[in-house]
Structures are given as structure tokens and as C-alpha cells.
Structure 1
Amino acid sequence: MRYTDVAIIGGGLAGSTAAAMLGRAGISACLIDPHLSYPPELRCEKLGGDQLELLRRTGLAEETLRATTLDGQVWEARFGYVVAKKPSDQHGILYDTLVNTMRAQIPGDVEIIHAKAYAVSNSADRQKIVLSNNEEISARLIVLANGLNTGLRHTLGMQRRIISACHSITLGFDVMPVGRAAFDFPALTYWPGRPSARMAYLTLFPIGGTMRANLMVYRDMTDPWLQQFRQAPEATMLATMPGLARMTGGFMVSGPIRIRPADLYVTEGYLQPGIVLVGDAFSTSCPAAGTGSDKVFTDVERLCNVHIPAWLSSDGMDVPKIQAFYDDPVKQACEARSLAKAYHLRSLSIDHGLTWRAGRWGRFVVRFAQGVRYSTAGAFRPGRQGRIATSS
């Protein structure tokens, strides 16, 4: 039997970040994950905006951001015209690189156990974990950070309640220009012209020397469009986004195409002694809304900087202690924003109602005004391709 204060199950972004934070704070912890190195997976592929401040609060930002690629400027386009060229703080990084960079910051006194958690039992005092290698761990607290894997949660009486099945689908792939060395834009966000496209946006951004593409769509996994995309991605993109070629010139999709559907769900029955859920283990977000990293960093920062130190300062790990995390107003506000943004972006992208049509044109006008403001201020130099739209 191994003894520790905190056992973290799951070594993705949430679990690895928590292990690094607790280890740096001198808290006895271990991380349980079967992967020696986290494998490739289509999840978060860039950080920016408020996520950077949240990352800094973990104390892990400096080394993490060194592994990213900053685009510096993003072009925004619709109907084949550039409507804005804006300074950008987007940092591109593949998910496995992000997780492994976090893992590299875990102090040596935090043991990483390469096994699966096979069974869990909990109480208001200590928790027991049985591993796939037949080892056992006794911990004061279990942090369940195993994402979409519901097996352990089910054994504890926790259930997943889907609130929006296949809310969105993310397609991730690399693109490269044909007949020239590079694209004219440092990064590009292309907004759909019509709700019939059933897409939120296409974003192109650099990771190292590669231009990465994330295409966010609202479709069913049985939609023939997805098969068409696999068979002829370039033609399908141009048919879905008329005018895109004006931004990109000739291009080709290189490397594999990964497709990830995303359900929105919440976990029920989570309030139990000795166990706390973070990230996707608690609830999911819509990748198109871009709030997944917000949720992870908020959860882990509040848990490791505020709640775990308070919990460990006294005996026991009963429900009132655990409840303090779920009642944390910062966490609750982040959860509410994430869910609201998921539904708002979907409706703004595909709903045909007058309100949403007005919203789409309002967004177009706002982004155009932003582009004019940045242009007037000299925030960018015009590129060779694309031009500021004066009408739609």
C-alpha cells in the first residue's frame, strides 16, 4: 500500500497541471496514468486571450509558452474578403505537446505511476485505489481528471447526463500552399457566409513550421458531408466556403484528418467524500466555443491554490469540504460562461431566425470596424492577397 495526500487519476491537461502545481507547493501527490508519454489526440491546439492569464495563475506559463508558436496577427475573413487584420496572442501547440510540456514541469518527488486505476472506494477519511498492476494507493483525496472515461465514475454511482448530443464536430488537419513557400497571412479565421454551411468557423494558425487547421461544424456523425471531406477535403472546403481560395490561393491538405464529435454533458452524483472531479470529468465544453482550456485551468487553479491546501490543514475529507470547490463562485461563473457560449455560437452560426441573422451581420460589422481601426492606427501592413471588404 502506497500512501499519499492527493492521488490524481488521469494525466491529460487537467491532471498533469494539477500534479505540477501540487508538487511545486510541496504537497504529497502522485499521478496515475498508463501513458509513458501522452499520445496524439485532437483537443485543444492553441491558447490565447484570457486563457493566458489563467495559465499564469498556475505558475506554469513560462515553460509552457516556450513550447508554443505565437502567430502575432490574425486575418479575419468572410465572403472571400478580409474584414479585419488584428494583433493576436494566439499560441499554437498540439495537445500532446501541451500535456507533455506540463508533465515535464512535475517535480521529481511527485511519482508518476504508469498504470490504470481499476477500482476506487471512498470515505470521509481516506480513499483507496486499486491499480491494474495490483498495487494499491491510500490517499486523503482523489482528484478524478480522467476526462471522457466514465468507468470509474459509474462504479461510484456517478452518471453522465447528456444535455446536447454531438453539439459540434471538430476537424483537425494540416494545410500547405501549392506553388509557393507560405501563405500570405500569419493566421486566418474564416467565418461562414450562410447558415446552410453548418459551420462555426475555420481557423488556420501556425504550429512550428506547419499551418494547422481546425474546422468547427454543426453536423451529425452520419452526415455524408464528413465522408466527402475525408475523400476530397480541398474541394469540400471550397464548396462549403466560397471565396476561401481568394484568401489561401492554391492549397492542399497534408497529413491525416482527425474528426472529433463533442457531446455536452454534466456528471450527476458527483458530490461525494474524498473525491473531486475536474475538467471534462465534471462537465464538457464545446471546442468551437474555445472554452475547454478556460474550464481546465480555472478548475485546477482554484483546486490547487485555494481548496486543497485548506482541506489538508484539518482532518477528514467529508462532503462539506468537497462541496466548497463546486460552490466556488469563480468556477461556477466559468461553467456558466462556457455553456452559454456553446449555445450562443451554435445559434449564431446556423439558426435562421431574424434575431440570429441580425446577430451575424452585427458581428460582421463589428469586425469590419475593428479592422478599419487597426488599419488606421497602423497596426498592420496590407498583404499581397485579400482586401478589406466594403460591402457584403
Structure 2
Amino acid sequence: MAVLERCGLPRSMPPLLVVGVLAALTSIVLAVLHLSTPEAAADKPLVIEPAAAGAPGTTVVTSKRAQVLSITMVTRNRWAAGWSDCTSGPICKYAAVIDRDGARATSPEWPVPYATIRSGTEAIAVAPPPEGTLEGGATMMYRLTYDGPLLTKLRYRLPTTTFGKDEVLTDQIVPGRIVVVDPEESTVRMLQGRGTRSPVCDGTGRCWMLSGIGRTDIVWTDDGGKTWGARSLDTHNQLGRLAVSPDGKTLVTTQVTVTDTGQTVAKMEMSTDRGANWKTVQNPPPSLNAAPLALDDGTALMLGGPAGARPRLYRLQDGTAQLHGGYPGDLAELEGDSHLMYGFEIPRRRTTEVVLSTDQGNTWSKFAPR
């Protein structure tokens, strides 16, 4: 009874009610103790100081033979770039540079290439596990906040068939698989289900992917993977390319055939009404160096040309592909939208610069993302 008085309870309470109160107090104490245990703390993101995580990545980025491997741009002043150095030792070294509104930071070294992805209004870098699977070593996320650089160990979650609207889908972390990254919760997991590669989510919330074994299908979902739609792209090949405009209305699909001279375009189709109707593109380039870039105005840009030749810039409009002027050099990829399109160059020796355009490819400028 003294315990009851210390808890502010009268001695006159019925015995059964007293037992219930004591049981509730015991549950609260046990819950507090549980939250203070290491097991409960394991659900919290593990933030690591970049300086304590390994060798500084600046030695990779500033190496005389450093090369750009990837670039993701949100704006001209918000981007993430992956770098490599394969000449300073017996094994290659990798690092990433992130720019956030003029402030830049470089990640620690990593034994495999960083994947650069977009998360909302920022660009981040993810260091995949060296084993190429989410069942092995750690997966790290590097981002730059207004408080400084942040290196976080991503927690592995069980594979899932669904995903949230704020999560990021990418096929750049585990080869041949789509991975779901939740930057806010610092988690990563495999996506099981219809899509297996080339995920892209448009501004309406619909997510598109390619799928198929021995064939290629386009699949899409409007509810985070709960239900799917599908359309056959190629019944004989597992290779294909997909481009979707930010508004989700313009789609470009390409069937690719492998020959002795490389990958050639077997067929290209385009839709400007969200996939309801399709046209076969006339006079497409013989081969494509990267997936086309679909725009909200019902057109698309692409890099292509004869196999083995210097790539040229083409504009796809009204179902016809034509050469487009203003191209500055040897672009290896083309990303972005009508406001900002970009890619990194493949010159004869090494890649150190990114080219970008803010007027749909009419004029271009260059910068070194480091």
C-alpha cells in the first residue's frame, strides 16, 4: 500500500483495480528499459563521420587520371558526381562529390563505384555493397545537408513488392535488380515483382519499368506496386530502352538487337498520350548510345548514329527522327528535362567534364564536377 501512496493512489482502491494499476506500471517500466537497449537502438540510422569512415575521397577525385563515371543533376547548383581512379594502385578506387547550392563535399573512398541518384530536390550518392548484393557488406549513403556532409549506413529491410511515393527506385546498386532506397529512414531493400530494370517515376506518381525474361515488356503502377499494367515491347529480346517525360505523357521505346558491330535499333516507337496510342518512329539512328530523353512538349532528344561512329544528337518530333545541331562533343549519356539536360563526355583519353544545356540542346556549357 505504501507503493500506491507514493504513486498518488488511495489505500481504499479495490484489490483487483490495484493489481491492474501495478501491472500497467510494470509494463511502462519494461517499455522504458527496452527502448534503452541496443536492440531498440538498432532501428535508428547509423551516422558515421566521413573522416572516420576510410581514406579521404579527395585523393581519388584529384588524381591525375581521375575520371567521371556518373552524374545526377537536380539544378545547376545541386548535383552528385561519381569518380574513379584506376591508375594510382593495383585496384581501382572510387569517390563521389556532391554540390548543394555552391557548397561541395567529397565522400570517403569506396571499393566499388558510387551510384548517384535523385531524391526529391537533392542529389545523393549511394555506395553499393562490394559483393553486389544486399546480403553482404554495408551499403552507405552520402549526402550534403545545410549542416554539412552526412555519411549514413543504410539498414537492410526484407524484400518487398510495394514502395512509397517518397522512396527512390534504382537499378544502379545491385546489377540486374531494382532496389528501393528510403533516404529519410536510411533503409534499403530489394523490390520484388513485375519490374527488373530501368525504373522511372513521372511527375504524376506513376512509375514505369522494363521487365521480362527472354523478352521485354513495359510495366507501370500508379499505386506503388499494388497493381500493374503491362505492354509488350519485344517478344524476342531482353534488351530495350525506355524514356518517359516528366509529365508522363511522352514515351519512347526502343527495341535493340545485338550484332557483331554492337547494339542496333530494330524498332522505335513513340506515344504522346501516356501510352494509349503509338507511332513507329521513321528514320531512327542506326544505333543508340544511351536511352532517349523524352520531353513534356511531345518531343525527344537522343544520342546515336552509325555503330562505332561519333554519336550525334537527334530530335524526335511528329514520329520522325532528325539530326539536331548545337552538339558540343562526345556525350556518353543524356539526362534531365527541358529546363536542364546534361551528360558527361567520353573524349579520347579520359572523362573529366560534364556538359549541360538550358535551352533544349541549342547551346552547351562545360564544368568539372569536383
Q: Which has the higher contact order (CA 8 A, sep 6+)?
A: 1
- Structure with a larger share of its residues in helix: 1
TM-score scaled by structure 2? Answer: 0.23
TM-score scaled by structure 1? Answer: 0.22
- Structure with a larger share of its residues in strand: 2
